[in-house]
Structure 1
Amino acid sequence: MATGDTPAIRNVHERALPVPADRVGRLLDRLASADDPLWPSPTWRPVLLDRPLGVGAAGGHGAIRYRVTRYEPGRLLACAFDPAIGLTGVHVFEVQERGPDRCVIRHRLEGRPTGAMRLLWPLLVRQCHDAVVEHLLDNAERHVTGGVRAPVRYPWPVRRAAAAESVRVRAVPVPAGARLLRECPARRDLADAYSLRVPPGTSADPQDWADAVFRRPPPAVAALLRLRNALAPLVGVAPEGATAFDTLATGDGEVLLGTDAAHLDFRVSVLVAPGPGATTVTVSTVAAARTRVGRGYLALVRLAHPAVVRAMLRHAGREATAPQVVRRPPARAREAAR
């Protein structure tokens, strides 16, 4: 590795576009805004700055933090990395004219990795960076031409990393906003809630989320439900049919699902709350046993219920934030480590 001012990493992506530079520059000027047309959200968490785009604005996306050091509207945006992330250097967007009706939009990263980043950059971070920037250039091409000639393809490790950043499930109290659920009978032998925060750009329709969670579960959960239906009659419990998660009521950002069975009653609320930096999806469940068999069944359900709901909600979140089906790997990066 060279010494002095030679950067350890030089990573360049660019896209030639058949439109005037000013048209692409206007897209660059909207980066980090509420209607940012370039950043690949909801696959990745959005770029958030502490003030409007300009010199001195600080923020970043996810764990990557930086500060704007140079800004020429419609032409150039340069940011210096916060050294605490393990990179010392800059990343730069620029739009250059190539004639009256042609231009190039380019992203350049130059820096030195430090600490754990010296290992993480070649193992994973470089792949994520390449996919993010190529996705961003795809968005620029799509906005100015109406299509993308060869969209970026996310490798499997990058898809997993994007999901890990954008899809996080946690246990929460049953939210006050779940009004339909709170109107249900007060007796509850089981009551819990799990919440997911996803980037802006995902659906805010609670029925979309209810269908994604309960109609399209991950394969492992689908197999577990089939096993449940096969074994349930042995203990006097009826198999669950397609109507088990029918929509019973709709409200302000909420749908209520559920059914009444001989052994127990259960209700599920799916509540969607869009916010300035993320959309929160909360799945809340309440159940009450009717019989001794129902109480025994519910005791068993408690063991698997948290893992099953987390898995279904996480799977729905990953589907909602997954990049579009694509046809090639990110291959435009030119990187030299010296």
Structure 2
Amino acid sequence: MPGHDFADAYQVATSISGLDARQAADAIIKHPPSWIKGLMTIRNRVVKLFRLRTVEMGVDDPKSALRMVGGFPIVSQSSQEVILGFDDKHLDFRISIVAAPDRFGGTQVTVATLVKTNNFLGRTYLATILPFHRIIVRHLLERASFERLA
């Protein structure tokens, strides 16, 4: 994403051989704990006031399973990488989930986030959510149950 204003990445090693990016994305995002769902509910209520897009994180709609992961739209997908995100009037964001074999027979899973702000509202929003973003992404990645996918 050219011109991005924020980027971060977190990585974990799993003992699972042959894990693909979509499996990793599902394990990380589809079943968030209730405290994260609660924060997302608050976020959705606030952003609706500004007519911004909402994300129904953790909502599994079988009809949208090919187009979304845990409420986030799929921008592109391969066996090695799933890119989620969308463009909105305040900011554009992408979440990249990469699954790559490691030298020990397992899989390295990396979650990277890129954000490009489009205006003052986007910069304010980004500054407000960054502390939560860091905690949430780390928590989701650390608690992902990759083993149940094997």
> Aligned runs of 1:166-315 on 2, under 5 Å?
184=1, 186-201=2-17, 204-234=19-49, 236=50, 238-242=52-56, 245-251=72-78, 253-277=80-104, 278-315=106-143
Name the % identity.
33
How far residue 224 of structure 1 moved from its aligned partner, in angstroms, is: 1.1
For normalisation by structure 1, the TM-score amounts to: 0.37
Give SS of 1:221's match. Answer: helix
Moved over 6 A (4+): none
Partner of 1:32: none
Which residue does 1:321 correspond to in 2?
147
Spell out, residue by residue over 1:258-317, the C-alpha distance to the aligned partner (whole angstroms, 9 max, x if none). Answer: 10111100011110011232310000000011121111001111121111101111222x
The 5 Å alignment of 1:91-102 reads none
Task: Give the partner amino acid of 2:12.
Answer: L
Residues 54-112 of structure 1: CA distance to partner in whole angstroms, max 9, x if unpaired?
xxxxxxxxxxxxxxxxxxxxxxxxxxxxxxxxxxxxxxxxxxxxxxxxxxxxxxxxxxx
5+ residue gaps, structure 1, are: 1-183, 325-338
Distance in structure 2 (CA, Å) of the matches to 1:241 and 1:306:
17
Matches within 5 A, 1:69-148: none
- Superimposed CA distance per residue, residues 197-229 of structure 1 (whole angstroms, 9 cap, x where no aligned partner): 11134x511011112222222222112111111
Q: What amino acid is aligned across from residue 120 of structure 2 in structure 1?
A: R
Partner letter of residue 90 of structure 2?
H
Instruction: Name the structure, 1 or 2, with higher relative contact order (CA <8 Å, separation 6+).
Output: 2
CA contact (8 A) 1:237 1:263 kept: no
Consecutive unaligned residues in structure 2, runs of 5 or more: 57-67
Count of aligned positions: 136
Cα distance in structure 1, aligned partners of 2:142 and 2:33: 9
Q: How far 1:239 sits from its partner (Å)?
A: 4.3
SS at match of 1:246: strand
What amino acid does structure 1 have at the position aligned with 2:72? F
Q: Is the 8 A contact 2:92 2:116 kept in 1?
A: yes
**TM norm structure 2:** 0.79
- Contact kept in structure 2, 1:221 and 1:312, CA below 8 Å: no
Change (3 A) 1:289 1:237: farther
Does the 8 Å CA contact 1:218/1:311 hold for their aligned counterparts?
no
Specify the structure having the higher radius of gyration (Cα). Answer: 1
- The root-mean-square deviation of aligned C-alpha atoms, in Å, is 2.3
